[in-house]
Amino acid sequence: MFRKKSALVSVLIILVFAMSTMAVFAEDEKPELIVTLNSDGSSSMMFVAKLDPEEIDSTIAYYNQLFFAENYTVEKSEDGSSMVITNNFPVDKGYNVDLTVLGGGEESFVSFEELFVNRYGFKNTTFNAEERPAGTEYFKITIITPVRASKSNADTQEDGGKKHTWVISSGRKNIMTLSFKTYNMVPLISALFGIVLLAVLIYLIATDKKKNKDYSYVSDESLSEDEEITEEPQDEEIEEMIEQLDFEVDSSNGESDSGDEDEDNQEEE
């Protein structure tokens, strides 16, 4: 199987570059490979080549033979002017960039999965045509990302940084680099919910402490007032007791004086 794919890729590399410079592909519109990376982790490819009316049927038949056992669909477009090759790739293959139709094989984005963020990166140097005379456009490669890319060296970018198109041409290295990142919403929302809940708890605790402090201050003031109230009657009672003692002392002194006077009178008699 590996040898079969290697042979297929070698044939396609020669075929695509040769056909790109001939009249098989329409001069006004170069072939384009469109790779779509879906938000669920799956991907798909579609290769569209507008062909010469006299060559379209034979070309489709030839590509059908090449991709018959590779799960590709090769058919004519609705208007009958182009050959369309499609294929879909499941989530378990990751973000797959299928360049097999162009002789580049299958390549995947390198992924770095973190708790809150997943980062993806891609670099390809398959179509280096630096040594060829400049001025010939071979085909286009478009990659559509699920989110805005953080880095891209595409010749054109559209759709808010999600659609990236490279023009593969002679006299250039044709290096493609692309990277983007997606957010894991479930752990991110859970973390935000935890932060909000913690903030609410801290606020409630701080509010409760403040209420307890205010209540303690009011209780202290009430206690002080009660002490003052209870102290006033005590002072009055003490004064009353002192006055009563003074009265009793005066009374006793009066009785003793009257006794002395009686004794003096008796002696005189």
52 and 26 in contact (C-beta within 8 Å)?
A: yes
Q: What is the CA radius of gyration of the chain?
A: 49
What was the pLDDT predicted at 199? 86
What was the pLDDT predicted at 159? 95
Rounded to whole angstroms, how far apart are CA atoms 19 and 26?
10
What was the pLDDT predicted at 2? 40
The residue among 161, 167, 132 whose CA lies nearest residue 148 is 161
Spans of all domains in the chain:
2-183, 186-269
What was the pLDDT predicted at 105? 83
Rounded to whole angstroms, how far apart are CA atoms 124 and 59?
27
Q: How many CB atoms lie within 10 A of CB 249?
A: 10
Instruction: Mark the ranges of the chain whose per-residue pLDDT is less than 50.
Output: 1-11, 13-15, 17-23, 229, 231, 256, 265-269
What was the pLDDT predicted at 214? 60
**163-183 confidence digits (pLDDT tens):** 999 999 999 999 999 999 998
What was the pLDDT predicted at 9? 46
Strand-pairing partners, residue 118, are 113, 182
pTM greater than the 0.95 cutoff: no
What was the pLDDT predicted at 178? 97
Rounded to whole angstroms, how far apart are CA atoms 112 and 191?
20
| Alpha-carbon dihedral sign for residues 190, 193, 198, 204 | negative
Q: What is the DSSP string of 130-186?
A: TTSPS--EEEEEEEE-SS--SEE--SEEETTTTEEEEEEETTS---EEEEEEEE-HH
The residue among 46, 12, 8, 39 whose CA lies nearest residue 182 is 39
Report the Cα 104 to chain-centroid distance in Å: 33
**199-249 confidence digits (pLDDT tens):** 888 888 888 777 666 656 555 555 555 555 454 555 566 666 666 666 555
